[in-house]
Amino acid sequence: MEKEVIYKSFDEVLRAFLDKDDRMHRHGRDNDWWYASSLGTCKRQHYMRRMGLEKSNKKQFRIRFVGKDGTAGHEWRETAAKSMGVVVGAEERLVDEKVRYKGRYDLLINLHNKLVLLDIKTQRPEAFFYRSRKAPGEKVPEFQKLQLASYIYFARRKYPDLKEGRIYYVDRGGGCREEFIFNFDDKMFKKVLDELNYLNTCWEKKLIPPALEKKDWKCRFCDFKDACKEVDKNKLNFNKTLQTYGKQIK
């Protein structure tokens, strides 16, 4: 029997696909790690994600569409780099069980006979414009540098000659690009390990880390904003928070 078509618009088809895709990824998510993509951001949000708390703030479809369009942009650039023969590695998973770290870099490429780890950041035109007009030392946010440094630190175990990292920004609307080069020292790698060790200490002691001292616009879109408020308002501990907002940890 032919499946009944229930969609009234193409946009409805796409929204249904995103919901289906989210359900598939939710069931397969491994909450036993700290992820590179959350380093340098709110430690409490990172911690609550690992706790497996139910999300109280579903992402708007507009934001989810932007994410998928960004992924599509990554894919054609990766295809182009492979076609030009410069790719050494792509979308490689990095894992360290000791500090419970997981990350996945975009591209490892050969530029002028040296290894370069590349992180591609696609941005909407307004965000690209706002960021690119900042002072030279502020054009790349600190948390993105920290994430890039983590990729390099853990990737060097397999690629000991790797020293250089780059962040490549793309304006999705206007086609503008900016490329920034980084050669991190041990001080930056220590920041990566210090944050991972701090999170692990909190985890072992079942202490929920503090939220950002200065609230910003990202707090409004946090997946765990309801639980975060209750932790501060009613001084909920780890077990009470998990009982109220979470699922059983493996």
Q: Would you say residue 150 lies in a domain? A: yes
Which residue type sits at 193?
Answer: L
Residue 96's domain comprises 33-245
| 125-174 tens-digit pLDDT | 999 999 999 999 999 999 999 999 999 999 999 999 999 999 999 998 89
Question: How many domains does the chain divide into?
Answer: 1
Is-contact 34 146, C-beta < 8 A? no
Closest C-alpha among 174, 56, 49, 154 to residue 104: 154
For residue 2, name the pLDDT band (cuts at 50, 70, 90): low
Residue 219 forms part of a structural domain = yes
Per-residue model confidence as pLDDT tens digits over 50-96: 998 988 777 788 888 888 888 999 999 999 999 999 999 999 999 99
Residue 15 within any structural domain of the chain: no
Answer yes or no: is 23 within a domain.
Answer: no
Residue 182 sits in a domain of what CATH number? 3.90.320.10
In a domain, 52, yes or no: yes
Kindly report the pTM of this predicted structure: 0.90
Long-range contacts of 56-59 (CB under 8 A, 24+ apart): 56/223, 56/224, 56/225, 56/226, 56/227, 56/245, 57/221, 57/222, 57/223, 57/224, 57/225, 57/226, 59/221, 59/223
Whether 185 is covered by a domain: the verdict is yes
